Structure 1
C-alpha cells in the first residue's frame, strides 16, 4: 500500500472521532448561552388583533352557488364577507364578483367594490364601481345596483354608462330582467337615454 493511501486512512479515522466531539461542544454552547425561558410566561400576541377578530366576524374568499326559482344559476364570490351585527340576516361583502347563467344561455357578470345581502328578503345591493358585462355584448358601469334573487331582477336606480351592440349609451336608470319564455337577458334603459349609434362594419 502506498504511503499516501495510508495517510488518508489515518486522517479519515481521526475525523470520525473529532467531528462528533466538535458538534457536541457546539450544541452544549448553544444551551449555555441561550436566554432563560419563563415557563409561566405568555406567548406575545397582539391584543389589538385578537379584539379585532372577535368583533369583526367573517370569512375570507367565500364562494356561494345556487339556483333561482326560474332555474337560473347564480354564483357569488367575494374577498371577504362578514355579518352586519346591527341587522340580523344581513351580510356585508368586499370586492364582490357575481355570475348569472340564464336559461337561454346568456351569462351576466357583475363586479363591485362592496355589497350587502339580506338573507330574509333574498335581495342584495352592490355599490362602488359596479361593472356589468353580458355575453350579448353589453358593457355597463354604474354606482349602485340592487338585485332580487328569487325573481332574478336587477336595477340600477342612478346614472349608467357603457356600450352595447348598437353603440355607446348613457341613461338615468337601467333594469335587467330574465324573460321566462326564452330565458334571455333583457336590459331596459330609461330616464334620459342617450345613444350614439355605431353600425357594425359590413363587408363589400
Structure 2
C-alpha cells in the first residue's frame, strides 16, 4: 500500500510539471499558426482623390465679369472652377468661354479646354484648343494664350494659325493689344509670319 501511495504521489508530481509544459506548447503552436498581422493594413483607409475633393468644393458654371482700365468689358464663363490646393491665389477652370466687349464696338470671343487664373496678378492662362474669334473676321487657334483682366492684352505662348480678311495666317506668336492713343484693338503677328493671300470675292 505504501508503494502504491508513493507511486501515486510521484505521478501527481510529474503531472504538475508535464501539464503546464504541455499547455505552454499548445499556446506556442497557436501563435505560430495564427495569421501574421500587417500593421500597415490593420485599419483599412480609403484612398481620397485630393484633386477630386477640391473640385467638389469648387463651383459649377461660374461666371466672372469685369471692366478693364480702358473701359472694355470682360465676361468669363466656365463649366467648373476650383482652387489650387498648392496655391490659394490660383484658380483652375475647365471648358472656358470668354468674351471681350471693346469700347470701339468690336467683340472678341475666346474659348479653351482649361484655364489657370492668378487672382492677384490679374492674369489668366488659357490652355488647350484655344480659339480666338474677332468680329472683324479673324479666327485664330493656338495651344496656350496668356491674357490680362485689367487691360486689353492677350499673347499666345505657342504658334498660331487661322484665317482672317487677308487670307490664311501662320505665325510663331500673336499679340492682341490696344492703341494707347485711340483705344483701337490691334492684332499683331510676329515670328516667321506666313500669309496665303486669298482675295475677297467681289461677287462679279
TM tier relative to shorter chain:
0.7 to 0.9
Residues 1:155 and 2:135 aligned together: no
Residues 1:127 and 2:140 aligned together: no
Match of 1:141 in 2: 141
Query: Which portions of structure 1, spanning 4 or more consecutive aligned residues, are displaced by more than 6 angstroms?
Result: 47-53
SS of 2:175's equivalent? strand
> Contact between 1:105 and 1:184, CA under 8 Å: does it hold in 2?
no
The 1-side partners of 2:71 and 2:95 are apart by 26
TM-score, structure 2 as length reference: 0.72
Note closer, same or farther for the CA distance 1:80–1:48 as it changes in structure 2 (3 Å cut): farther
Rg larger for: 2
Where does the alignment leave 5 or more consecutive residues of structure 2 unmatched?
1-45
How big is each residue's C-alpha offset from its partner over 1:126-180, in whole Å with a ceiling of 9 and x where there is no partner? 0100000000000000000001221220000211000000000100111001224
> Contact between 2:54 and 2:85, CA under 8 Å: does it hold in 1?
no
The 2-side partners of 1:195 and 1:144 are apart by 21
Note closer, same or farther for the CA distance 1:132–1:164 as it changes in structure 2 (3 Å cut): same
How big is the shift at 1:185?
Answer: 1.9
SS of 1:88's equivalent? strand
Aligned alpha-carbon RMSD (Å): 2.0
Where does the alignment leave 5 or more consecutive residues of structure 1 unmatched?
1-46
- Counting only pairs closer than 5 Å after superposition, residues 1-204 of structure 1 correspond to structure 2 as 54-56=53-55, 57-204=57-204
